[in-house]
Amino acid sequence: MSRVVGRHTLLTEVQDLLGRGLPVALHGPTGIGKSALLDALDDGADHLVLRAACAAPERTLPFATLQDLLDQLPGATRPAVRLAEGIAADALRSALCAEFRSLLEELSARRPVLILLDDVQWLDPESACVIGYGRRRLPGRVGLVVTVGPGGRGIDLTDLQHLQVPPLAAGEIIDLLGRHGLPPHVAQRVYVESGGLPSVALALGGALGEQPSLLGRPTAVPPTIERVLRARFLDQHPDVQETLALAALLHRPTVRQLERVGRIGAEEQLRVAAAAGLVLVDDAVRFTPPVLRRVVTDATPAVRRAALHRDLAEVAPSSAERLRHRALADPRPDLELARELGVAAQESASAGARELATELYLLAADRAPADLATERVEWLATAVETGAPGNHVELVQRALGDFLDLPAAPAQMVRVRLALPELAGGEVAAMDEVLTAALADAGDDDRLVAMVLLQRARVALMESRPAETVLRAEQAVGLLRRAGDRPGEAAALTTLAVASRWVGTGRHDEHLAAALAILPATDPAPPGLTHISPAYLAGRFALYDDRLDEAWTAFLSMLARVERGAGMDQVHVLRCLVEVGVRLGRCREALGYAARAAAVGEEFGLDPHTGWFITGLAELAGGELETARRLAERGVAASEERGDTRYLQRHLLLLGQAELRGGNALAARAALTRIRDIETSHGIDDPTVNRWQHELVSALVALGALGEAEDLVAASRRALDGRAGTEGVGAQLDRAEAELAGARGDLATATMLLERAAKVCADAGMRLDLGRTLLSRAHVERRNRRAAASRAALESAAACFAEIHARSWSQQVRAELEPAPVAGTDDPLLGRLSETEARIARLVCQGATNRQVAERMYLSVKTVEATLTRIYRKLDVRSRTQLITLLVPSPTE
């Protein structure tokens, strides 16, 4: 069963039903992996397995499937009855039922029999009768598992327990494709395009000859998969086909919209399509996989498509969408229609509907006659600019393909080139090539040169090279000021402000104030540009300074403005809400915002490592520690692959925190030290941004590297000197330094630092850090042999974490408040150990880390490590894993 990815729970449920003597039917669309589940049951069975696959052409052949089962047995055990001519059908069926039952009884007397049937929607009725009769007469001795796909008629095998086989989740597809060498960020994109269908994902993964290009081109769908998807669509009832065709032609189909355009019974027809695995329906209608939408459109005859578009042009919900359907109904050039489409595109873009606007610009260019040659070039350039920030890749590709064939002005070429890096999946090397070409196109035009410099500054920021960003942004500010481009100057000042803060010039507030004077925070940013606006950066600075309520209010206001805009804007704002929410202790809300960010990322095809960070951060606080660690590992790999050093640092911080809390201080130190090395090599001097210092101090203390931890505390203190807005990060460092003082036995200093940290955290609203401070206080009190005070601090921490729904932290504290009893044992191996050694060995076998053992037994970590060395020597083992294997018995079969 280990070869099947993501189906452990489902396979366990099937095994449980079989164990209770119940037959099982697995339902799902073609390609969902039903046959792979039968393979897993076949491989893992200690039964005698009889297996057959049914086929549509054989449904009318009596006893065809039964014969396939019998052919798998030695000749001596086959039924004596022959399918002889002249025997009445009813008599033959009765005889075969008796013979097959007798055969199963004989076989199951030696070991259980498991019958596996694939595609029983095509099972011939005669075989169904005989197989069902035999199984019913031998419950518990004969198991039956069948798969049911789309099409065919009802089956009659009696008492089937019906289970739906769902699509694989993103992580499961990533694991599946990882076995075939695809990196996580590529596998995530394949997951989105496959809709979670394993067969489609494997086919798409195999079609990837190389990594995605700058344009993040969609994976070509193999013809075999297109044929399967087309067949699944054509298998549906004509009414279902018609509803799906309408949905495929609408811009963003919903159940309500289909009903408004007069599709009677749309909700029920979509329910049938959803059961067949063709769509997902909440209010919106989403094709699974997304490429099915194009397959459905292509499968609808052109004349019928044109007629449907004409109908929709009368009833679509908005004037822009009605224009869209008019244009799609008639491909001929039309000057007035082209101009109307251009105006509608501009209005849609202003309203934040980037995808619709991009398509309307394309349609305007397509319908433009020769008289509108100049307008056509501009519409195509604007289509690229409009679609790129929303990552509408296919539309951008179409626009770019036409644009490059036309004579364009230098300014238009620069605009198009600068838009391309906004697409998700852009690699740094490819961006550099595009920006070099853009600089050549810009010539001596100050404004165009400044636009290229500003984009280079942003790329350098993504690579965590703030010194270069400062240089480029300062040049851009001067050129844009000279050119009189005030909005452009504000954008350049915003980029300059963040880079200046990172390198510690001390002028970041001045630059941000100048940007806000041009574009006040109350003015909404243009759609797609919120995440590079002065208002957005003002919210980020509030987060860095731990003005958390201010930051929370700012980002909530932004969220309302970007919800219908570009996907990247939404993800950036949602990430900020998660970051602020975690620090405020709004863990439940953070998880909700993280889920929304993940959905937006999938919808718009954005780089997955951004969503992994957001989800991992929320999980680390309010969810599952292991989930956070796994996402951080994927994010580190993807960020390195993409050359995104900024997100690499973020994921390394998550990974370091998860490893430290999981008891692997060595791995935590490795991850956190990489952040330190990046900051040192790139001249990043602001301790309020990444906040890795206190986590690394804790990891070093856990490893017993107290001298190195002391040096890091001193260096971090120097970095805080003279800076404003560092009270929060100072409190986090206080907590870590208290752990160092406690390890040195200076309990008075540790207590003082923790009291100071708790006050700052409470005043700043840093409720998660307040809970962590109370937990550290409990450990310090325990070292001081003050059990009552330690328990009181633990209970306070538990109450704090419970109130803010910090689930994983609550679980940790509960484990300390109510530790599992160390069970006694008569294991003779423990007789070789002293009482202390035996207790440490037992705790290790229960999963405790060295640090946790030390805290529970009031020992130092070094003492635990030394004792473990003696234990290894006495029991002749070399590692923790070998010790656990030796002392923990294997589960009984």
Per-residue pLDDT tens digits for 296-310: 999 999 999 999 999
Residues in a beta bridge with 284: 254
Contacts of 112 (CB under 8 A, 6+ apart): 46, 47, 48, 141, 142, 143
Neighbours of 854 (CB within 10 A): 24
Highest mean pLDDT among 88-97, 741-750, 777-786: 741-750
Angle, vertex CA 300, rays to CA 403 and CA 249, nearest 5: 55
Dump pLDDT digits (tens) for 671-700. 999 999 999 999 998 899 899 999 999 999
Of 479-493, 679-693, 700-714, 864-878, give the lowest mean pLDDT range.
864-878
Across 837-855, average pLDDT = 80
Residues in a beta bridge with 287: 279
Is residue 249 pLDDT above 80, yes or no? yes
Highest mean pLDDT among 81-90, 358-367, 843-852: 358-367
Neighbours of 559 (CB within 10 A): 18
Confidence grade of residue 827 (pLDDT, cut at 50, 70, 90): low
Neighbours of 803 (CB within 10 A): 13
C-alpha–C-alpha distance, residues 477 and 235, integer Å: 61
> Does residue 289 have a cis bond before it (omega within 30 degrees)?
yes
Q: What is the pLDDT of residue 151?
A: 63
Across 280-297, average pLDDT = 86
Q: What is the pLDDT of residue 439?
A: 87
Confidence grade of residue 372 (pLDDT, cut at 50, 70, 90): very high
State how far the alpha carbon of 480 is from the alpha carbons of 338, 403, 534, 637, in Å.
34, 27, 16, 38
Q: Are 733 and 721 in contact (CB under 8 A)?
A: no
Task: Share the mean pLDDT of the chain.
Answer: 86
Is residue 59 pLDDT above 60, yes or no? yes
Q: What is the pLDDT of residue 880?
A: 82
pLDDT-above-90 percentage for the chain:
44
Is residue 286 pLDDT above 70, yes or no? yes
C-alpha–C-alpha distance, residues 775 and 791, integer Å: 10
Higher-scoring residue by pLDDT: 760, 600: 760
Residue 729 burial (C-beta neighbours within 10 Å; 0-12, 13-18, 19+):
buried
Is residue 834 pLDDT above 90, yes or no? no
Dump pLDDT digits (tens) for 543-583. 999 999 999 999 999 998 887 666 778 899 999 999 999 99
pLDDT-above-70 percentage for the chain:
91
Name residue, tokens 């792979």: 36
Across 734-761, average pLDDT = 94
Residues in a beta bridge with 52: 117
Is residue 258 pLDDT above 90, yes or no? no
Q: What is the pLDDT of residue 447?
A: 92
Is residue 434 pLDDT above 90, yes or no? no
Is residue 214 pLDDT above 80, yes or no? no
Across 281-309, average pLDDT = 89
C-alpha–C-alpha distance, residues 391 and 57, integer Å: 45
Confidence grade of residue 829 (pLDDT, cut at 50, 70, 90): low
Confidence grade of residue 892 (pLDDT, cut at 50, 70, 90): very low
Is residue 220 pLDDT above 70, yes or no? no
